[in-house]
């Protein structure tokens, strides 16, 4: 018995890079055995390869996790390669007979987890999987007919009725990791972007402590006016928790718990807390949709939209990526993305609509660019949001919605705080002309030292012409008369 008790167990970290509220860690500690914490960088066996910005974040988050483990007597073992092969190698080196992990629910990773668990079971190694990344497991929220929800509002209502109310599980004060099995040197992994390395302006604090600080700052700041403030890109009105949630540096249950507590304590109005919880619900909706309908990463959820007459236009696609479309709000968003690895949520919708509706370029091109350049690139959320803007997604949003980038700028960035920050060549242009500089009189442009076509590009497409073309394409696909909303 003593020999079995001294045999270590593996704690396989995935998208759960934290010690608080980590069910797999809690279960591993409950065994009373030494723990081998391991992270495996599997670049081929668990679905899509990570984008460059995600790898940058992972580098920093793993360092933070290792430091947290080291401060408690443990250490993080790093391995790179096929997940199953690396787990087997670690098992052979240590005699482990139990593996603890928090499951991933993306289709490829979910299937891979099951295959690994079955293979190890056949060799006498038990795998214990938990839900550490979602409010509830996919399949826990279904319609009365036992089918997945396809519309968000009823999904959210049902979700909030089944989320378990559990207190937070604190990080362990100490844990024991045996000497022996070696890990890789994280520096040797070379996770920073290259050719080029554009991460110099990334101003983030990855890791569990950074996530806790971000949540605290949001509750003390932006949450009080979240419903309106989240739409204003020139102010700090959003939580910026998405990359922390993606890597599991904080649990969604912990976020919901803290936000609701702030409302109960009277620190924020309950309507603001509820609005933010609904956004966590949207993240959950996306994850459940991807689990139930895995084809959405490649095809339209609403199959008729697979017939969209997409255009191949490398020059305009490149102009969009580099923030050179001639529409200031669009360009500001794309430049913010390149500089920081993040983009304000309102602006994400505008730039996505511009690519899809104004340029008629396939949403998958934009989704792939976001996947590579966003520090919060989450497969389920990324795909769902792009399909939502394209009108081909699951939710009942009007598919004919076409965002007017000028009107959006005038409404949500009226004094140009956001545009002037990210498109500094327009800084001296008066507010009246800022979001449509091509309409400014020549004298105004000259006074601001702007020559269109030299200092700042002219629009690469006319909004009116693009709107007409998009509506015709949508009518052809849907077979119905469509009129875009005034947005």
Check whether 239 is labelled as a binding-site residue.
Answer: yes
Residues 6+ apart with CB under 8 A from 20: 168, 169, 170, 171, 208, 250, 251, 254
| Cis preceding linkage at 374, omega within 30 | no
Told to judge if 386 belongs to the known catalytic residues of this protein, a careful annotator would answer yes
CA distance 415 to 400: 29
Check whether 276 is labelled as a binding-site residue.
Answer: yes
Check whether 153 is labelled as a binding-site residue.
Answer: no
Residue 376 DSSP SS3? coil
Catalytic residue among 189, 282, 338, 438: 282
Report the Cα 422 to chain-centroid distance in Å. Answer: 22
Catalytic residue among 12, 56, 204, 363: 363
Told to judge if 247 belongs to the known catalytic residues of this protein, a careful annotator would answer no
Place of tokens 């997940």: 83
Strand partners, 41: 80
How does DSSP classify residue 213? H
Residue 66 DSSP SS3? helix
Check whether 378 is labelled as a binding-site residue.
Answer: yes
Please return the burial class of 483, using the count of CB atoms within 10 Å of its CB with bins 0-12, 13-18 and 19+.
exposed
Query: Which stretches of 42-167 are assigned E, i.e. beta strand?
Result: 77-80, 98-102, 126-130
Catalytic residue among 84, 189, 338, 345: 345
Catalytic residue among 84, 189, 310, 338: 310
CB 7 within 8 A of CB 33: yes
Check whether 212 is labelled as a binding-site residue.
Answer: no
Told to judge if 310 belongs to the known catalytic residues of this protein, a careful annotator would answer yes
Check whether 465 is labelled as a binding-site residue.
Answer: no
User: H helices within 52-147, ranges in order?
Assistant: 52-70, 83-94, 107-121
Told to judge if 345 belongs to the known catalytic residues of this protein, a careful annotator would answer yes
Check whether 377 is labelled as a binding-site residue.
Answer: yes
Query: Which stretches of 15-156 are assigned E, i.e. beta strand?
Result: 35-41, 77-80, 98-102, 126-130
Q: What angle do CA 301, 302, 303 make, to 5 degrees?
A: 100
CA distance 154 to 101: 31
Residues 6+ apart with CB under 8 A from 474: 391, 399, 400, 482
List C-alpha distances in Å: 79 to 41, 83, 118, 267, 318: 6, 9, 21, 44, 36
Catalytic residue among 84, 189, 279, 438: 279
CB 232 within 8 A of CB 1: no
Residues found in the chain: 487
CB 384 within 8 A of CB 286: yes
CB 176 within 8 A of CB 34: yes
CB 372 within 8 A of CB 52: yes
Check whether 240 is labelled as a binding-site residue.
Answer: yes
Active site residues: 279, 282, 310, 345, 363, 386
Which parts are annotated binding residues for FAD? 226, 238-242, 276, 376-378
The annotated binding site is made up of 226, 238-242, 276, 376-378
């Amino acid at each position: 018995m003593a020999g079995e008790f001294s045999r270590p167990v593996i704690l396989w970290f995935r998208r759960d890079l934290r010690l608080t509220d980590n069910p797999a860690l809690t279960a591993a500690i409950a065994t009373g055995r030494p723990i081998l914490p391991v992270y495996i960088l599997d670049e081929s066996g668990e679905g899509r390869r990570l984008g460059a910005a995600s790898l940058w974040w992972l580098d920093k988050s793993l360092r933070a996790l290792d430091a947290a483990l080291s401060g408690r007597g443990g250490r993080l073992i790093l391995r790179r390669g096929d997940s199953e092969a690396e787990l087997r190698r670690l098992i052979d080196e240590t005699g482990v007979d139990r593996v603890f992990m928090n499951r991933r629910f993306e289709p490829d990773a979910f299937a891979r987890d099951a295959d690994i668990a079955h293979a190890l079971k056949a060799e006498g190694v038990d795998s214990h999987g938990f839900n550490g990344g979602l409010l509830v497991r996919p399949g826990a929220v279904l319609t009365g007919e036992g089918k997945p929800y396809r519309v968000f509002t009823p999904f959210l209502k049902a979700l909030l009725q089944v989320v378990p109310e559990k207190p937070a599980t604190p990080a362990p004060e100490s844990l024991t990791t045996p000497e022996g099995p070696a890990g890789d040197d994280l520096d040797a992994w070379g996770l920073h972007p290259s050719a080029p390395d554009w991460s110099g302006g990334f101003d983030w604090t990855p890791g569990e402590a950074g996530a806790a600080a971000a949540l605290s700052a949001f509750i003390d700041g932006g949450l009080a006016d979240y419903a309106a403030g989240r739409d204003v890109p020139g102010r700090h009105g959003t939580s910026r928790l998405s990359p922390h949630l993606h890597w599991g540096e904080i649990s969604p249950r912990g976020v919901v718990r803290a936000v609701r507590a702030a409302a109960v304590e009277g620190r924020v109005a309950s309507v603001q807390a509820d609005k933010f919880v609904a956004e966590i619900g949207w993240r959950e909706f996306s994850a459940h949709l991807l689990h139930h309908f895995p084809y959405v990463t490649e095809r339209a959820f609403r199959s008729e939209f697979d017939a969209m007459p997409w255009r191949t236009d490398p020059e305009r696609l490149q102009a969009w990526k580099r923030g050179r479309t001639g529409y200031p709000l669009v360009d500001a968003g794309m430049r913010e993305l390149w500089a920081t690895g993040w983009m304000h949520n309102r602006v994400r919708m505008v730039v996505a609509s511009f690519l899809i509706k104004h340029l008629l370029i396939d949403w998958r091109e934009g989704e792939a660019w976001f996947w590579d350049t966003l520090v919060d690139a989450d497969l389920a959320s990324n795909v769902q949001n792009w399909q939502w803007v394209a009108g081909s997604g699951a939710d009942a949003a009007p598919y004919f919605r076409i965002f007017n980038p000028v009107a959006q700028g005038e409404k949500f960035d009226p004094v140009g705080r956001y545009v002037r920050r990210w498109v500094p060549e327009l800084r001296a242009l008066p507010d009246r002309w800022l979001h449509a500089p091509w309409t400014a009189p020549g004298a105004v442009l000259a006074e601001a030292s702007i020559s269109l076509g030299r200092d700042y590009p002219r629009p690469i497409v006319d909004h009116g012409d693009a709107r007409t073309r998009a509506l015709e394409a949508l009518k052809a696909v849907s077979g119905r008369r469509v009129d875009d909303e005034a947005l």
